C-alpha cells in the first residue's frame, strides 16, 4: 500500500482530481470511495466524504473510535496528528448515497484536506469519480434521475430562482408529476390490453382517443414551461444594442450601479462585447454591452459590429437603446429591422435632454439613473411571462424536455392510428413506448451513455 502522503491530488475547475492514473480509471461501485467535498481555498472548515462498505472501518482505523453510532458526530485527533477533526457517521440505508457514509470536517487549509484525503485513500478507499456520490444515490434508489439533475442545478445555482426550483425538484415535485402521468398511462394501457383479451366487452374507441388527447394536453402544459426553466437555469442573455452614442455603455453602468464600461462622446468607443452578471429579485441576467452598429471602414470597429450582430442572434432578450432627444434616422431604422424577429424591449434613453421621439418603450436616463427600476421590472416581466402556466412543475434540462416530447410524439401517432382503426395490438405497443419515454425521464430506463453525460458535469466531491 502506498504511503499516506505519497498520493497526489490536485484541483481543477471541476473539483478535486487524482494525479495517480490508476486511481482515476474505471469505477467500481462496490468500492469504498472518498473525495474532498468543499472547494479549494482557505476557510474555517474542509470536508472529506467517504462512502461504501469500508467507510466505517476506514474512519475507525484512522481515528481509533470504538463502535461508532449512526448519525452521531465524534471529536477526535486523527492518527499521525494530521488534524483535530469532527467525524460524523451515517449508517446505510439512511444516508445520502444509501451506503455507509462518513464525513470528516477538518480545518480548511488545502494542505490539511489533501493530507486527510491521502490518509483515507492509503487506508483502502479510492478517489471518487465526478458525481459518483450522487450517482450511487441514484443507483441505490435514493433519488431518481430528475432529482439527481436538480442536485447539479442546486450546487451550481447563481440565483434564488434556480435554487428554489432545484430545491422543489429535489423534494420530488417534478418526479411526483411524472409518476402520476405514468400511472395514468399505465391505466390506459390496461384498458387497451383488456380490449384485446376481451373484445366483446370493449366499448367504442372515442373515449380512448379523448383520454390520449387529454394526456397530450397535460404534457403540453408541462412543456410550455421549458423556455422559462432554461432561462432561470442558464440566466437570461440580455444584449444591449443600438447605433453608436445612444447610451448603451451608460445603460450597462446604470444597471450594474458601477462604472464598468468606458463612456465617451466619441462614436465607436466600444469595440468588443462586455458581459456582466446582474441579479434582479432572484433572477439571473447576463448583460452584454455591444458595439454600436453602423457602416464603417475601420477594421477593428467592424469586427466589434460583427460580434454585436452575433450576440443579437443568440440573445434571449434585446434591449434596443434609442435616443429620444433625436428623431429616428436610417441607422435606428436598420436596428429596428435587425431585431424585428427578436424578443426585445425598446429603451428610450436621454429623457433628461428632452423627448422628441414618440415611440413605445421604457423611458430612462442612463446618465442620471432615471427609469432604471422600471426597466428592471420590464426585464422581470419578460422572464415571468415565459412561464406557460401557474404550475410549479418546470423542466430545467433539455433531456427532460426531449423525453416528454418523445412521449408526446408517440401519443400523437396513436390518435392517428385510432382514426384509421389500426389493430389495438399496435396501439398497445405504442402506449408502452410512451411509458418507456417517461421511465427514461425518471431514469428507470436509461443508458450508460446518458448517465455518464449527466454525472460528468458534477464535481468530484458531489
pTM listed for this prediction: 0.77
Distance CA 230, CA 314 (A): 14
Q: Can you read off the three cell numbers belonging to residue 233?
A: 437555469
Residue ending a domain, among 85, 112, 143, is: 143
Give me the number of domains the chain comprises.
3
State the pLDDT at residue 204.
55
Q: How do residues 258-270 score in pLDDT, each as one tens digit?
A: 766 444 444 444 4
Here the CATH number for the domain that contains residue 121 is 3.30.1360.120
Here the CATH number for the domain that contains residue 178 is 1.20.120.430
State the pLDDT at residue 203.
55
Q: 39 with 100, same domain? A: yes
Q: What is the DSSP string of 298-354?
A: -HHHHHHHHHHHHHHHH-SEEEEEEETTS---HHHHHHHHHTTTS-EEEEEE-GGG-
Least confidently predicted of 98-112, 188-202, 347-361: 188-202
Name the average pLDDT for the chain: 84
Here the CATH number for the domain that contains residue 312 is 3.40.50.300
Distance CA 140, CA 121 (A): 23
Phi-psi region of 79 (alpha: psi -120 to 50; beta: other; left: phi over 0): beta
SS3 219: helix
Q: How do residues 120-136 score in pLDDT, each as one tens digit?
A: 999 999 999 988 999 99
* 302: pLDDT strictly greater than 70: no
Q: 357 with 409, same domain? A: no
* 15: pLDDT strictly greater than 60: no
Q: 57 with 73, same domain? A: yes
Q: 237 with 221, same domain? A: no
Q: 360 with 416, same domain? A: no
State the pLDDT at residue 460.
80
3 in any annotated domain: no
Q: How do residues 178-235 score in pLDDT, each as one tens digit?
A: 999 999 999 999 888 887 877 666 555 558 888 999 999 999 989 988 888 888 888 9
Host domain of residue 161: 151-225+393-443
CA neighbours within 13 Å on the CB side: how many for 315? 32
Residue ending a domain, among 143, 174, 200, is: 143
SS3 226: helix
**Chain mean position to CA 299:** 38
Q: 379 with 245, same domain? A: yes
Q: 14 with 139, same domain? A: yes
Q: 167 with 185, same domain? A: yes
Residue 59's pLDDT band, with cuts at 50, 70 and 90, is very high
Q: Can you read off the three cell numbers belonging to residue 110?
A: 488545502
Instruction: Return the H-helix or E-strand segment holding 178.
Output: helix 173-197
High-pLDDT (> 70) share of the chain, %:
84
Residue with cell 468543499: 38
462 in any annotated domain: no
**Chain mean position to CA 437:** 21
Q: 303 with 400, same domain? A: no
Assess contact for 409 and 416: CB atoms under 8 A.
no
Q: 191 with 252, same domain? A: no
Q: 399 with 371, same domain? A: no
Reference 349, options 339, 278, 332, 281; nearest CA is 332
Mean pLDDT for the stretch of residues 93-100: 95
Q: How do residues 247-257 score in pLDDT, each as one tens digit?
A: 888 898 899 88
Which neighbouring-strand residues pair with 239?
288, 318
197 in any annotated domain: yes
259 in any annotated domain: yes
Residue ending a domain, among 83, 112, 143, is: 143
Q: 160 with 122, same domain? A: no
Q: How do residues 364-382 score in pLDDT, each as one tens digit?
A: 998 898 999 999 999 999 9
Amino acid at each position: 500500500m502506498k504511503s499516506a502522503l505519497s498520493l497526489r491530488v490536485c484541483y481543477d475547475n471541476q473539483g478535486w482530481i487524482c494525479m495517480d492514473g490508476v486511481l482515476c480509471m474505471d469505477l467500481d461501485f462496490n468500492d469504498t470511495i472518498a473525495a474532498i467535498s468543499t472547494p479549494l481555498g482557505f476557510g474555517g472548515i474542509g470536508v472529506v466524504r467517504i462512502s461504501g462498505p469500508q467507510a466505517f472501518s476506514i474512519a475507525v482505523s484512522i481515528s481509533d473510535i470504538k463502535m461508532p453510532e449512526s448519525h452521531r458526530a465524534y471529536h477526535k485527533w486523527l492518527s499521525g496528528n494530521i488534524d483535530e477533526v469532527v467525524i460524523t457517521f451515517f449508517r446505510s440505508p439512511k444516508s445520502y448515497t444509501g451506503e455507509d457514509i462518513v464525513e470528516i470536517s477538518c480545518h480548511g487549509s488545502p494542505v490539511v484536506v489533501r493530507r486527510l484525503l491521502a490518509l483515507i485513500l492509503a487506508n483502502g478507499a479510492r478517489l471518487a469519480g465526478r458525481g459518483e456520490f450522487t450517482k450511487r444515490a441514484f443507483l441505490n434508489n435514493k433519488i431518481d434521475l430528475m432529482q439527481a439533475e436538480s442536485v447539479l442545478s442546486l450546487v451550481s445555482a447563481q440565483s434564488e430562482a434556480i435554487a428554489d426550483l432545484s430545491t422543489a425538484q429535489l423534494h420530488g415535485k417534478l418526479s411526483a408529476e411524472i409518476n402520476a402521468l405514468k400511472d395514468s398511462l399505465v391505466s390506459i394501457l390496461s384498458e387497451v390490453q383488456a380490449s384485446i383479451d376481451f373484445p366483446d366487452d370493449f366499448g367504442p374507441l372515442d373515449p380512448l382517443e379523448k383520454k390520449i388527447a387529454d394526456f397530450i394536453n397535460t404534457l403540453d402544459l408541462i412543456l410550455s414551461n421549458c423556455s422559462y426553466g432554461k432561462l432561470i437555469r442558464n440566466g437570461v442573455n440580455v444584449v444591449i444594442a443600438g447605433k453608436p452614442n445612444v447610451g448603451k455603455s451608460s445603460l450597462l453602468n446604470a444597471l450594474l450601479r458601477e462604472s464598468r464600461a468606458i463612456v465617451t462622446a466619441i462614436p465607436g468607443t466600444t469595440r468588443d462585447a462586455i458581459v456582466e452578471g446582474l441579479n434582479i429579485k432572484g433572477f439571473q441576467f447576463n448583460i452584454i454591452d455591444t458595439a454600436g452598429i453602423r457602416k464603417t471602414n475601420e477594421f477593428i470597429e467592424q469586427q466589434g459590429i460583427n460580434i454585436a450582430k452575433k450576440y443579437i442572434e443568440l440573445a434571449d432578450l434585446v434591449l434596443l437603446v434609442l435616443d429620444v432627444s433625436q428623431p429616428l434616422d436610417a441607422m435606428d431604422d436598420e436596428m429596428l429591422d435587425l431585431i424585428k424577429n427578436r424578443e426585445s424591449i425598446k429603451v428610450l434613453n436621454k429623457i433628461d435632454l428632452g423627448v422628441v421621439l414618440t415611440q413605445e418603450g421604457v423611458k430612462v436616463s442612463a446618465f442620471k439613473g432615471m427609469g432604471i427600476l422600471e426597466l428592471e421590472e420590464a426585464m422581470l416581466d419578460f422572464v415571468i411571462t415565459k412561464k406557460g402556466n401557474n404550475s410549479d412543475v418546470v423542466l430545467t434540462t433539455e433531456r427532460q424536455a426531449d423525453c416528454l416530447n418523445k412521449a408526446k410524439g408517440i401519443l400523437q401517432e396513436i390518435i392517428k392510428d385510432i382514426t384509421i382503426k389500426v389493430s389495438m395490438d399496435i396501439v398497445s405497443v405504442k402506449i408502452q413506448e410512451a411509458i418507456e419515454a417517461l421511465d427514461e425521464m425518471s431514469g428507470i430506463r436509461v443508458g450508460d451513455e446518458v448517465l455518464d453525460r449527466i454525472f460528468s458535469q458534477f464535481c468530484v466531491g458531489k
